[in-house]
C-alpha cells in the first residue's frame, strides 16, 4: 500500500528534473573546462572535488533526518540552494570561484538524496516502486545527456550553466507539493509493534544488521568507474566529432537502465541478491577493458550497454537490500552510507586517476588500465563477505 500517491508522484517528478540537471552539468563540465583551457589532470581533480560533496554530506543529512524524524525540511531546502548557486555560476569563468560554486551546488543537491529515503518509506519498501524510482533517475540522466549534446551543438558549451538552470526549474514546482505524514509512516512500518500509537514508538523500532561488504564494494567499484566516466566524453571525442552522436553513446547507458531497473526489480529475491551483486560488479571489470579497446561508435555502444546492465544489477540489489533491512529510525542513515560509499570511491579514485594522468603525460589508456583492479576487488568482497540476512 502506498501511503500518499500524490507525494510519490511529485517526488518522481522532482527527481526526474534534478537528475536531468545533474547529468547535464557533470557530463559536460569536463568539456566546458577544456573550453576554458584547463589541463586534463586539473579537469579530473575539479570533477573529483565537485563530486566530493556526495560522500561528505548524505550520511550526515540522513542521520539528522532520522534523528529529527522529518525529511521534508531537507527536501525543501535543496531546490532553493541549487537555484541560487546556478544563478551565480552564470557570472564566473574563474576556476577557483567555479570550483567553490560547483561544490556548493553539490552540497544542495545532496539534500535531494533524502527524497529517496522518504519515497521508500511512502511505498513501504516495495521493490517494484523502488525500481520505478531508479528508472526515473535513469531516464532523467538520459534526458540530461541527450538534450545537453543537442544544445551544445546549437548554442556552444559556454552556455552550459544557463541551460542547466532552465532544465532544473520544473523540479522546484514539483517539490512544493511533496508532503510528509511522519506519524502515518511510523504506524505503517512493517517492523513496528502493535502499540504504534504510543509515545516513544521510534525507540521501539528494531535495528537491523546491514552487511558492511555492500559499502566496501560500492566504494571500490566507483573508485575505478566514475573517474573514467567523467572523462569519457573526451575519450569518445578522439574518435567522434559530432556532439549529438557522443551524447547518444553517453545517454544509452541511463536509457537502458530505465528499462532494466523494473525488470531486475521483478526478478530480485532474497536468495539471489548476492548473485546479482557479483554479476553487476564483474561486468564493471569487463567494461573497463572495453573502454581501452573501443575505437568506434559500435564498439563504444557495446560497452555502454554492458555498463548500464552492470549498474542496474548491483544498484537495484543494493537499494532493495537496504530498504528491506532498515526501518524509519535508520533508513536515512543507511541510504546515506550507500551514497557516501559511491562518492567516496569517486573522490579518492579521481585523485588517484589524476595522479596516473600526470604520471603518464595524460595518456588515458595506460591510466585506465590500472583501474581494472578495483571492481575486481568489489566482486571478491561480495563473493566472500556478503551475508544476506
Q: Report whether 113 contacts 61 (CB < 8 A).
A: yes
Q: Please tell me the number of Cα atoms within 13 Å of 355 on its side-chain side.
A: 8
> Going by C-beta distance under 8 Å and a sequence separation of 6 or more, which residues neighbour residue 13?
170, 171, 174
Q: What is the CATH number of domain 5-385?
A: 1.20.1250.20
> For residue 331, what is its C-alpha cell?
533508513
Q: What does the pLDDT average to over 188-197? A: 49
Terminus-to-terminus CA distance in the chain, angstroms?
Answer: 24
Lowest mean pLDDT among 43-47, 80-84, 234-238, 356-360: 43-47
Residue 190 phi/psi, 5° resolution? -65, -15
**How does the average pLDDT of the chain come out, rounded?**
83
Burial of 214 (0-12, 13-18, 19+ CB in 10 A): buried
Model confidence pLDDT, tens digit, residues 322-351? 888 888 788 878 888 888 888 788 878 888
> For residue 192, what is its C-alpha cell?
513496528
Model confidence pLDDT, tens digit, residues 354-368? 888 888 887 888 888
124: left (phi over 0), alpha (psi -120 to 50) or beta: left
Model confidence pLDDT, tens digit, residues 117-154? 888 888 887 888 888 888 898 888 888 888 888 888 78
Q: Please tell me the number of Cα atoms within 13 Å of 311 on its side-chain side.
A: 23
192/227: higher pLDDT: 227
Instruction: Provide DSSP, 33-90.
Output: HHHTT--HHHHHHHHHHHHTHHHHSHHHHHHHHHHHT--HHHHHHHHHHHHHHHHHHT
Q: What does the pLDDT average to over 204-230? A: 80
Q: Domain limits of the chain?
A: 5-385
What pLDDT score does 383 carry? 93
Model confidence pLDDT, tens digit, residues 219-271? 999 998 888 887 787 788 888 777 677 778 877 888 888 888 888 988 888 88
Q: Report whether 249 contacts 301 (CB < 8 A).
A: yes
CA distance 36 to 280: 37
Lowest mean pLDDT among 68-72, 179-183, 241-245, 251-255: 241-245
What pLDDT score does 314 carry? 93
Amino acid at each position: 500500500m502506498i501511503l500518499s500517491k500524490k507525494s510519490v508522484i511529485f517526488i518522481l517528478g522532482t527527481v526526474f528534473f534534478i537528475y536531468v540537471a545533474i547529468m547535464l552539468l557533470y557530463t559536460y563540465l569536463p568539456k566546458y573546462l577544456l573550453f576554458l583551457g584547463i589541463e586534463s589532470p586539473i579537469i579530473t581533480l575539479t570533477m573529483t572535488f565537485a563530486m566530493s560533496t556526495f560522500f561528505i554530506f548524505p550520511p550526515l543529512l540522513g542521520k539528522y533526518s532520522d534523528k529529527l524524524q522529518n525529511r521534508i525540511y531537507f527536501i525543501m531546502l535543496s531546490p532553493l540552494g541549487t537555484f541560487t548557486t546556478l544563478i551565480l555560476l552564470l557570472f564566473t569563468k574563474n576556476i577557483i570561484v567555479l570550483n567553490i560554486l560547483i561544490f556548493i551546488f553539490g552540497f544542495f543537491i545532496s539534500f535531494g538524496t533524502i527524497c529517496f529515503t522518504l519515497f521508500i518509506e511512502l511505498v513501504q519498501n516495495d521493490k517494484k516502486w523502488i525500481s520505478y524510482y531508479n528508472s526515473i533517475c535513469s531516464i532523467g540522466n538520459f534526458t540530461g545527456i541527450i538534450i545537453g549534446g543537442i544544445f551544445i551543438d546549437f548554442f556552444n558549451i559556454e552556455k552550459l550553466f544557463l541551460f542547466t538552470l532552465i532544465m532544473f526549474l520544473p523540479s522546484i514546482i514539483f517539490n512544493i507539493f511533496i508532503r510528509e505524514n511522519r506519524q502515518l509512516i511510523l504506524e505503517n512500518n512493517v517492523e513496528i509493534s502493535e502499540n504504534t500509537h504510543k509515545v516513544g514508538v521510534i525507540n521501539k523500532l528494531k535495528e537491523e544488521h546491514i552487511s558492511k561488504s555492500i559499502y566496501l564494494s560500492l566504494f571500490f567499484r566507483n573508485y575505478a568507474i566514475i573517474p573514467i566516466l567523467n572523462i569519457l566524453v573526451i575519450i569518445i571525442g578522439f574518435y567522434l566529432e559530432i556532439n549529438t552522436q557522443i551524447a547518444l553513446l553517453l545517454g544509452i547507458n541511463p536509457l537502458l537502465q530505465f528499462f532494466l531497473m523494473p525488470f531486475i526489480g521483478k526478478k530480485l529475491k532474497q536468495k539471489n541478491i548476492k548473485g546479482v551483486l557479483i554479476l553487476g560488479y564483474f561486468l564493471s571489470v569487463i567494461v573497463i577493458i572495453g573502454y581501452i579497446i573501443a575505437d568506434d561508435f559500435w564498439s563504444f555502444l557495446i560497452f555502454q550497454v554492458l555498463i548500464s546492465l552492470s549498474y542496474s544489477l548491483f544498484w537495484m540489489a543494493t537499494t532493495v537490500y537496504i530498504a528491506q533491512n532498515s526501518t524509519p529510525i535508520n533508513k536515512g542513515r543507511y541510504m546515506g552510507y550507500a551514497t557516501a560509499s559511491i562518492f567516496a570511491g569517486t573522490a579518492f579514485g579521481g585523485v588517484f586517476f589524476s595522479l596516473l594522468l600526470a604520471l603518464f603525460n595524460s595518456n588515458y589508456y595506460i591510466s585506465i588500465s590500472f583501474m581494472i583492479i578495483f571492481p575486481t576487488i568489489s566482486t571478491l568482497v561480495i563473493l566472500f563477505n556478503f551475508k544476506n540476512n
